[in-house]
């Protein structure tokens, strides 16, 4: 991976950490990894970088799972909340805090 792609990739993963999600076009992510199609090695690199970022910011024992939603043009990666974050469900009636399952 070229250095400027490494930086862009790291910023993408940090955005998931800070904002809960991030999206990128397929052609951009293909350029980062230098491949025509994203396969298991690239998904593994994404996961490894996610673990790195979580550990860097003090969440080594509370790593939130990440999920990918795709469409023909782009992918969106979202994370679950960390234990110290509140989850609020927004409905037609308003907003209500979601109770975590024990």
Query: pLDDT tens digits, residue range 42-85?
Result: 999 999 999 999 999 999 888 999 999 999 999 999 999 888 88
Residue 42: give the domain boundaries.
Answer: 3-97
Express each pLDDT in 5-48 by its tens digit. 899 999 999 999 999 999 999 999 999 999 999 999 999 999 99
CB 88 within 8 A of CB 98: yes
**Residue 70 to residue 78: CA distance in whole angstroms:** 11
102: in domain? no
The CATH number of residue 22's host domain is 3.30.1370
33: in domain? yes
For the chain, how many structural domains are there in total?
1
pLDDT at 102 over 90: no
**Residue 23 to residue 8: CA distance in whole angstroms:** 12
Q: pTM to 2 decimals?
A: 0.85
45: in domain? yes
CB 35 within 8 A of CB 72: no
């Amino acid at each position: 991976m070229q250095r400027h792609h490494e930086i862009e990739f790291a910023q993408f993963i940090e955005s998931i950490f800070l904002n809960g999600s991030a999206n990128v076009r397929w052609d951009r992510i293909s350029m980062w990894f230098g491949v025509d199609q994203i396969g298991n090695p690239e998904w593994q690199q994404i996961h490894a970088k996610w673990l790195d970022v979580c550990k860097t910011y003090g969440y080594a024992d509370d790593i939130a799972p990440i999920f990918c939603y795709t469409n023909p043009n782009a992918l969106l990666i979202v994370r679950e909340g960390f234990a110290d974050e509140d989850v609020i469900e927004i409905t037609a009636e308003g907003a209500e805090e979601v109770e975590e399952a024990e």
